[in-house]
Amino acid sequence: MSQRPSGGGYLCAAKSYMVTQPVRLYRLIDSTQPYSKLGGFWSFERPAGSRDDYRAQFAICKQWSQLDRLIACDVRPGSMVVVGTTQSADCGNGFSFPKTGANQVFVPNDGLAGIVHTGGCVDQGAWPPASN
């Protein structure tokens, strides 16, 4: 992953790591775009709180994803991942998210090219979960 300008999302202060044992990661996806299940940006922690809080924490513009379904997958040993804090995102129409200290994990999945570094995926259902 190359260096990107501020305002476009992605990561700051990132470091790459070789995975030596399976690592469980979490990803919120847009259920209308099932191919997004194996996208690049993941979290070490299971999401909590509101959708708006999650968007702000990870600088995810509304037009990028509905964030309405949770997927959990394991990164396969031998895969390279990049971990860094959240870069700012310019969502347009004068709305943006600032950089945050929240760590994200970039997994270089490319489903169109048949390159997938995640497996053992489990659909965790609709998100946020219904209140009890």
Q: Which residue's structure tokens are 């959990």?
A: 72
Domain locations in the chain as residue ranges: 11-116
pLDDT of 31-47, one tens digit each? 998 888 888 999 999 99
48-98 per-position pLDDT tens digit: 999 999 999 999 999 999 999 999 999 999 999 999 998 888 999 899 999
- Please tell me the distance from the alpha carbon of residue 87 to that of residue 100, in angstroms, as a whole number: 7
CA-nearest of 80, 103, 101, 85 to 23 is 80
Q: Whole-model pTM?
A: 0.86
pLDDT of 123 over the 90 cut: yes
Helix residue ranges, H only, 3-119: 51-58
Q: Which residues contact 24 (CB under 8 A, 6 or more apart)?
A: 72, 73, 74
**Dihedrals φ, ψ of 74, to 5°?**
-105, 135
Tell whether the model's pLDDT for residue 111 goes beyond 60.
yes
Q: What are phi and psi of 34, to 5 degrees?
A: -60, -25
pLDDT category at 3 given cuts 50, 70, 90 is very low
pLDDT given at position 12: 62
